[in-house]
Chains A and B, each alone.
Chain A
């Protein structure tokens, strides 16, 4: 019986963002980026947390940067566009709907078309074939609109490529970023963080 199963389990949805939730393990990052052996021009948003640089690896929050907020009082519709990901960022976004995060409770919903979207969430390294799709998706979105670059590929290593095509309003680091911090980015863009 599903109902009994649900009742037995109790509430598993995080209290985040009302309270921080330390039961969700953060990702590893190096304690300093100086020893990076992967990128010559490493910066916070490009770090994959791979650990091969032999720096001490510490668990910490993913970085969130909001350049231009889009305060919205209504429900927010998100169009997710994979422009060439490895697939892991996609799953983390899907998991925002899992009971532990339940982003619907905070007014966020995904939409299958950019025509109904307030936020365009971009994941992956922009490939040639996805370039026109990115441009077109952005153009089809009604005003006002925001673009959130999710994950080290979109928000760090290949951010410039994406920025050439569409204005990036916010970004979140991580490879992949934790669902919790994708949620934080969404809350910050829409002016709902610490509301």
Chain B
């Protein structure tokens, strides 16, 4: 296990007079922001992901290589997003994301000069799959009056979000491996978690949970039923040689790739690099005893196994959590510039919010999917086309989320 992972370049933003960089040390939890010059862009490959300026270097490819664009409407991505890839047929020689088709960028601009309470629904809808994480992070940065019951509710919402996303990724991987029965069971289980979200938090995707929450007496009971269903399905799926073989060695990133490319979240942990922001996040008080779940191989199977462990952990944590009878939605804006992290399902979100006179003045976001897209572009190189869906789905990324990168 790699004990010391050094400082990670978490984000970089273009400023009027150069660049600002956000650095994070996952061993100590220390985050710092400084000004850097353009040489950073050459030194750290992840900056291509941040600034969306990827290019396929044709000179490094064999003469038979052809460059294709895949997306944004067709091709099984399922979202408005695309990839450019180079191939001579059979193998993917190089692949780069091609993003910028999504609405999210305009969504972010809409909240400028808006009162913080009115801005909440927008933060819930920046990235539908990670609505609880964005909402919770924003509330923690933009409000001052969060009480214990509200914090408990936020923690529960974020953990429910981890579960439904991880189970959905498992469904997609089972489907990719033509394990139709397993895939159907896992999509049914996702639906059951979403219904539970709706009953407890008022929204299937946990949007606006602070305003819609209602205590549900049978929460733990239902959770236990779903836990037993989950454990049974996973035991069964891990007995399938076809499933294991398709994921094993696919979309592999080793620990050197992770470190060189400033990768965080699930792909880092799946390559035995302990990058997990839970202990340093805005919800850190709930993760004092958190153990980072890791695997060694860095492939799609390792990422799957990390997710399995994390779902089990999330359910255990939720079973020990007493949801509040009622909560008080924070109302008091916290003026000033604040920044922080939250561990969303695929990896951490960095957000910086400037509030003045109770209004949102500026926001900067580094979404996890932008890092996942970069990790995918490295992991998929050299894989054959038939491995493409396994590699892609194993990162649990969304273009809607990746397109949030940046700020105003």
Taking a contact as CB atoms under 8 Å apart, the answer to whether A88 and B205 are in contact is yes
Contact with A along B82-104 (1 / 0, CB 8 A): 00000000000000000011111
Which A residues lie within 8 Å of B126 (CB)?
86
Please measure, in the bound complex, the distance between the C-alpha atom of A105 and the C-alpha atom of B262, giving whole angstroms: 46
Secondary structure at the B interface, as helix, strand, loop or mixed, is helix
Set of chain A residues within 8 Å of B212, measured between Cβ atoms? 28, 49, 51, 57
B118 touches A2 (CB 8 A): no
Question: Is B31 on the interface with A (CB-CB < 8 A)?
Answer: no
Interface residue total, chain B, C-beta cutoff 8 A: 54
B125 touches A51 (CB 8 A): no
Contact (Cβ within 8 A) A127 B121: no
The B63-78 residues at the A interface (CB cut-off 8 A) are 72-76, 78
> Are A100 and B191 interface neighbours, CB within 8 A?
yes
Which of B118, B204, B207 is in CB contact (< 8 Å) with A37?
A: B118
CA distance A80 to B76 in the complex (A): 11
Segment at the A interface, from B35-43, B138-146, B181-189, B306-314: B181-189
* Residue from the list B106, B191, B207, B211 in contact with A127, Cβ < 8 A: B106
Q: Which residues B108-155 have CB closer than 8 A to chain A?
A: 117-118, 120-121, 124-129, 131
Across the interface, which residues of B come within 8 angstroms of A24, CB to CB? 195
Q: Which residue of chain B is the closest to A57 with respect to CB atoms?
A: B212
**B401 CB-CB contact with A under 8 Å:** yes
Measured between C-beta atoms, what is the minimum distance from A171 to chain B in Å? Answer: 18
Name the A residues within 8 Å of B102 (CB-CB).
84-85, 124, 127
Which residues of chain A are within 8 angstroms of B159 by Cβ–Cβ distance? Answer: none
Q: A91-B168, A100-B191 are in contact. List 5 more A-B contacts (CB 8 A).
A: A52-B118, A88-B125, A88-B205, A95-B187, A176-B205
18 contacts between A and B (CB under 8 A): A5-B185, A49-B212, A52-B121, A57-B211, A84-B80, A84-B101, A85-B102, A85-B103, A87-B79, A88-B204, A88-B205, A90-B78, A98-B191, A99-B187, A124-B102, A127-B103, A129-B80, A175-B125
Question: Taking beta carbons and an 8 Å cutoff, which residues of B are in contact with A?
Answer: 72-76, 78-80, 100-104, 106-107, 117-118, 120-121, 124-129, 131, 168, 181-182, 184-185, 187-188, 190-191, 194-195, 198-199, 202-205, 207-208, 211-212, 232-233, 236, 398-401
